[in-house]
Structure 1
Amino acid sequence: MNTVFTWISQEPALAAGLAAIAILFINNYLSEGREKARIQSGVEGARLKVYNKVIVHLWLLTAVTAGVWLMSGRDAGSLGLGLGVDGWRSWLAWGLTAAGAMYFIWTVMTMAFSAKSRDSIRKQIGDAGDLDLIRPENEAEYRRFHWVALTAGITEEIIFRGFLIGVFALWMPVPAAAALAVVIFILGHAYQGVAGMLRIVPISIGLTLVFLLSGSLWPGIILHALADLVGGAVFQILNANEEEDQAAAATA
Structure 2
Amino acid sequence: MSPDLTAPVFSPAALVVAAVVFAYLLLVEPLWGRRMFEVLKRDRDTDPGLYVRFFGTGMAVFWGLTGLTALTVLLSPGAEWAHLGLHGDVDWGTVAGMFVGFAVAAVMVTLLARWKAMPVSPTLDPMLPRTTRERWCAVGASVTAGVCEEIIFRGLLIAVGVSLGLPLYVAAGAALVVFTLAHLYQGAKDMLLVGLLGCALTYLYLSTGSLIVPILVHVLVDLRALLLTPRPATGRSGQFTPAA
* Both structures adopt the same fold (TM-score exceeding 0.5): yes
The structure-2 alpha-carbon separation of the partners of 1:136 and 1:85, relative to structure 1 and needing over 3 Å to count, comes to closer
Any conservation in 1 of the 2:158–2:175 contact (CA below 8 Å)? yes
Mapping of 1:164-203 within 5 angstroms? 164-170=157-163, 171-203=165-197
Any conservation in 1 of the 2:142–2:222 contact (CA below 8 Å)? yes
Partner-residue secondary structure (3-state), 1:50: helix
State the partner residue of 1:115.
115
The structure-2 alpha-carbon separation of the partners of 1:76 and 1:21, relative to structure 1 and needing over 3 Å to count, comes to same
Shift of 1:98: 4.3
1:130 equivalent to 2:123? Answer yes
Q: Report the aligned-residue RMSD.
A: 2.9
State the partner residue of 2:102.
100
State the partner residue of 1:36.
38
Shift of 1:196: 1.4
- Higher helix content, 1 or 2: 1
Shift of 1:96: 4.1
Alpha-carbon distance in structure 2 between the residues aligned to 1:139 and 1:201? 31
Shift of 1:208: 0.3
The structure-2 alpha-carbon separation of the partners of 1:146 and 1:239, relative to structure 1 and needing over 3 Å to count, comes to farther
Higher relative contact order (CA 8 A, sep 6+): 2
State the partner residue of 2:7.
none
Shift of 1:78: 1.6
Shift of 1:190: 0.4
Alpha-carbon distance in structure 2 between the residues aligned to 1:181 and 1:56? 22
Alpha-carbon distance in structure 1 between the residues aligned to 2:219 and 2:206? 18
Query: What does the per-residue CA deviation read over 1:46-91, in whole Å, with 9 as the maximum and x for residues that have no partner?
Result: 12111001111111110111221232121112211112466xxx86
Partner-residue secondary structure (3-state), 1:65: helix
1:60 equivalent to 2:64? Answer yes
The structure-2 alpha-carbon separation of the partners of 1:38 and 1:222, relative to structure 1 and needing over 3 Å to count, comes to closer
State percent identity of aligned pairs: 28
1:14 equivalent to 2:21? Answer no
State the partner residue of 1:77.
82
Alpha-carbon distance in structure 2 between the residues aligned to 1:178 and 1:186? 12
Structure 2 stretches lacking a partner, 5+ long: 1-9
Alpha-carbon distance in structure 2 between the residues aligned to 1:211 and 1:38? 33
Structure 1 stretches lacking a partner, 5+ long: 1-8, 248-252
The structure-2 alpha-carbon separation of the partners of 1:225 and 1:101, relative to structure 1 and needing over 3 Å to count, comes to same
Alpha-carbon distance in structure 1 between the residues aligned to 2:152 and 2:158? 9
Mapping of 1:206-221 within 5 angstroms? 206-221=200-215
State the partner residue of 1:238.
231
Alpha-carbon distance in structure 2 between the residues aligned to 1:224 and 1:162? 14
Alpha-carbon distance in structure 2 between the residues aligned to 1:207 and 1:25? 20
Larger Rg: 1
Alpha-carbon distance in structure 1 between the residues aligned to 2:20 and 2:32? 17
TM-score by length of 1: 0.77
